[in-house]
Amino acid sequence: MKKLVAFLSVVFLMSCSAVRVNYDYDSTTNYSNYSTYGYYPDMQTGLSEFDTNRIIAAVDATMQIKGIRFSEEPDFYINIISDAYRTPQNSTVGVGLGGGGRNLGGGISIGLPLGQSGEERQISFDLVDSHKESLFWQATSTSNYNENASPEAKEKKLQEIVNKVFEKYPPKS
C-alpha cells in the first residue's frame, strides 16, 4: 500500500508542470548594442487587457534590473504572442488479471486514466531590431496558466514566466 501511495504521489507531482522555455537567437548579434527597448506597435498578445498589462509590468521590471531602459525610440522591440491549448490526457495506470496453467493462459487488461487533460498557455517573446526590423532573439514559454485564477495568482504566474524567459538574456557568447 505504501508503494502505491508513493507512486501516485510521484505521478501527481509530475503532472504539476513548471514553466518550460525554449530559446533561439542569432549568435552573430552584438547584444551590447541593445540598451533600450519598446513594445511592438501592433502587439496582439492574445491575453486579456489585464493580463497584457501584468506581463508588460513584469517585463519592464525585469528589463530595469538588467539595465535596459524603456524608450519611445528603442534599439529593439519586444513582441509578445500567446495561445492557449488543451493537453491530451496521457497518464494511465494498467490493471490486469491473468491466469493459466498447463499451456493455457488468458488475461484481461485495462488502462485507467489518471487526472485530466490540462490547459496550457504558450507565450512567445520576440526581440526585433528596430532599425533592421529583424528578429535576433526569441523565447517561447509553455506552462499551465489558469485563466480563472485570482488577479494575485495571475500576476505571480506571469512574473514567474517572465523571470524564466529572460533568465538567459542576453545569451552568453
pLDDT average per 10 residues of sequence, the chain (173 residues): 49 60 96 96 93 97 97 97 75 56 59 62 96 96 89 95 96 81
Nearest to 94 by CA among 107, 75, 81, 80: 107
Evaluate if pTM is beyond 0.85: no
pLDDT at residue 102, rounded to an integer:
62
pLDDT at residue 123, rounded to an integer:
96
pLDDT at residue 15, rounded to an integer:
46
Dihedral sign for Cα atoms in the order 81, 84, 85, 86: positive
Q: Which residue has the cell 495568482?
A: 153
CB-based contact 153:146 (threshold 8 Å): yes
pLDDT at residue 172, rounded to an integer:
85
CA distance 4 to 43: 49
Angle formed at CA 74 by CA 68 and CA 77, multiple of 5 degrees: 90
Q: What is the DSSP letter of 166?
A: G
CB-based contact 86:147 (threshold 8 Å): no
CA distance 78 to 129: 9
pLDDT at residue 95, rounded to an integer:
53
| Domain extents in the chain | 19-85+118-168
pLDDT at residue 112, rounded to an integer:
54
Whether domain 19-85+118-168 has CATH 3.30.160.670: yes
